[in-house]
Chain A
């Protein structure tokens, strides 16, 4: 027996769940939404998704190379950001705009703040908002879904807001046969992914339940149609995939509940009283900014800790 032994501090066991495993799970959870986007919006959806993922990975790699930092693309977080951003875009988005958005997400929102774990706001959400402001035309021009004959070119939320046009049925809403960003329309696909994430313990139920529940209750209180409010817009993708981002949301169940409720209230407030038909992205960004305070308010109390 040789005498070369590894010496390290305990514990000497690990779950095996690394950042890469978590991000891979998020990608797996988004697969149903990817499939739905292709079913309802055609192959161009896939093209935009591949492009955004590729640009995000490339930007992360290039930025880290230039800054002489360790390259972290293998943790797959850039791929998650790229895919989430793509799913939040309309299918007809010009490719250069999608690429620009990916650059904003990775370089401006994520890497300039220090990379994974240090960004204060969700990169995909923030990039989408910047694109919405910068390219308001293309970002709000909705292609007609494949499976519906309707010639409508406005989202259910816009119809709800203006009262013009025909609303899709609740079943069409649930399956995703409606106008909207290519990954947000299918509640079914997003629900499958969300349940997968909860089952894999990547996220907990607190944020999505608080977020969606608040939208239901608050919109009902304001005399809106709660089921449409729940399934329209980007609520499902936001509640399951964006408001649950580790770095920009609180870690404790109480914090997650506050975060989700806050998101829900802001979403409905923007939808009902704001200029924009949709408020999910803004609500998450605003709550991202409040996140450090929520973390502070909900800080766990050490067991047996004595105040001095």
Chain B
């Protein structure tokens, strides 16, 4: 069986751009909700001085991650910022002193066994850097006997983005060091690096870098989007299907992004947590597309000022054009899981005209998970959560293949998001109703006695 997908234009214009360090911005704005799960809790207050690598916010729960300062300077204020998800988020605003003094407390963590390894990952502040933002330590908190395959995600299937490509080319040794750690603590049968075959240089590099490892392989996968989607990558490298409502570990697989792994390995070696990111800056409005290294919290405006714009940006994205999030303001900061800042000119920013569905079936034919987006749209419009349940809308990973090829420009991803929310609400209502009924029955039973 072959999963469906689409051929997207690659536009990897920055593939040869070795990341350059941007001048330190005057101010960074660090949001507390960069990861999936609970937001981090600030441990600094206005007026505190901080240095690079110093803890500024602690994990706000089990599924959360600590945050460290990417600049040295003074905390200006603890503020609220309207995030791209429409919710207000607490932010720590730090005025940089430009010195980039490193925090004295930076020492490599003691890693001796699995528990201390997972704890180190937790302390590193690392979250899924491919874009998902799931706290990596949570993913790694599993029993080694559960783990059969560890898949290193170097697919980088989104157009434009080359930050993972650069990690593989410039920092392959850190990835390999990470593979060694994973092999040491989880003893998987296979470690597979999945890379799209439009990056032969990465395939070669990763093969060479890991030639001394056993149980290590590099898979050159067809450049069909969404090759880097977790479920897609698991299927294409192991043939395993992650069932509905289950996690990859339930089928014995762990998927970890190559840059995530490199950052973890570097943290264990040096003690420097995740404080900066390589981001690909590209798009039709950008004068000089390139990869830049920026402290977490740097505003998009600063990033775009550094790279220059050749026309006024009209649409600016976190991440790639297929799944990236468009921001309402250039004040939006680079986050831990930001791997690209794409700025587009007027032409790409124009909203397409939606026309009637012609039932061509392209959406279903392109869906890697075999869903039927057109039917989901109908069920959503007709307010039929039961039908949405049958159509398995909850499986949708919002990769955008359906909307990419829709000749009628139907907003299928948007509808899927709304449909998932509708189904969740319905399920919650059903559950509440059931509980109420049970309660009533118990009461009645008690009264009868």
Q: Which residues of A contact B (CB under 8 A)?
A: 1-15, 17-19, 21-22, 72, 75, 77, 115-118, 246-247, 250-252, 299-306, 308
Q: Tell me the chain B residues, 302-332 only, with Cβ under 8 Å from chain A.
A: 304, 309, 312-317, 321-330
Q: How far is the CA of A22 from the CA of B409 in the complex (A)?
A: 13
Contact status of A301 and B370, CB under 8 A, knowing A10-B324, A306-B243 = yes
Interface size class on chain B is 35 or more
Measured CB to CB, the closest approach of chain A to B420, in angstroms, equals 13
Per a CB cutoff under 8 Å, which of B312, B344, B395 touches A303?
B395
Q: 4 shortest A-B CB distances, which residue pairs?
A: A251-B361, A11-B400, A9-B414, A302-B392
Given contacts A1-B312, A6-B349, contact A304 B231 (CB under 8 A): yes
**23 pairs across A/B with beta carbons < 8 Å?**
A3-B330, A4-B314, A5-B316, A9-B411, A10-B398, A11-B403, A11-B404, A13-B159, A14-B406, A18-B407, A19-B355, A19-B358, A22-B407, A75-B355, A77-B358, A117-B356, A246-B361, A247-B358, A247-B359, A250-B361, A302-B392, A304-B231, A306-B244
The answer to the question of B371 belonging to the interface, with a C-beta cut-off of 8 Å to chain A, is yes
Nearest opposing residue in chain B for A115, CB measure:
B356
**A252 surroundings in chain B (CB, below 8 A):** 361, 364-365
Task: Choose one: A1, A18, A306; the contact of B409 (CB below 8 Å).
Answer: A18
Chain A nearest CB from B396 CB (Å) reads: 9
- Cα(A14)–Cα(B405), bound, Å: 6
The answer to whether B243 touches A304, judged by C-beta atoms less than 8 angstroms apart, is: yes
Q: Identify which of A1, A3, A13 gathers the most chain B CB atoms within 10 Å of its CB.
A: A13
With the chains together, A118 CA to B241 CA distance in Å?
Answer: 36
Q: In the complex where A19-B355, A117-B357, A299-B372 touch, is A12 in contact with B407 (Cβ < 8 A)?
A: no
Q: State in angstroms the CA–CA spacing of A210 and B202 once bound together.
A: 44
B241 near A15: Cβ-Cβ < 8 Å: no
CA distance A19 to B357 in the complex (A): 9
Note all chain B residues with C-beta closer than 8 A to A247: 358-359
Cβ B326 vs Cβ A12 within 8 A: yes
Q: Besides the contacts A11-B322, A308-B389, what 9 more A-B pairs have beta carbons closer than 8 Å?
A: A5-B328, A11-B413, A12-B317, A13-B321, A250-B361, A299-B372, A302-B371, A304-B241, A304-B246
A1 in contact with B330 (CB, 8 Å): yes
Bound: A247/B402 CA distance, A: 17
**B residues less than 8 Å from A118 (CB atoms):** 356
Looking at the assembled complex, report how far the CB atom of B354 sits from the nearest CB atom of chain A, in whole angstroms.
11
Interchain CB contact under 8 A, B244 and A305: yes
B441: min CB distance to chain A, Å: 23
Query: Once bound together, how far apart are the Cα atoms of A308 and B359, in whole Å?
Result: 28
Taken together as a complex, chains A and B put the C-alpha atoms of A261 and B77 apart, in Å, by 71
Instruction: Please tell me if the beta carbons of A305 and B398 are within 8 angstroms of each other in the complex.
Output: no
Question: Across the interface, do A1 and B313 meet the contact criterion of CB distance under 8 Å?
Answer: yes
For the complex, give the distance between the alpha carbons of A7 and B408 in Å.
Answer: 20
CA distance A184 to B225 in the complex (A): 40
Contact residue among B323, B329, B357 (Cβ-Cβ distance under 8 Å from A10): B323
**A3–B300 alpha-carbon span in the complex (Å):** 12
Q: Is B44 an interface residue (CB 8 A)?
A: no
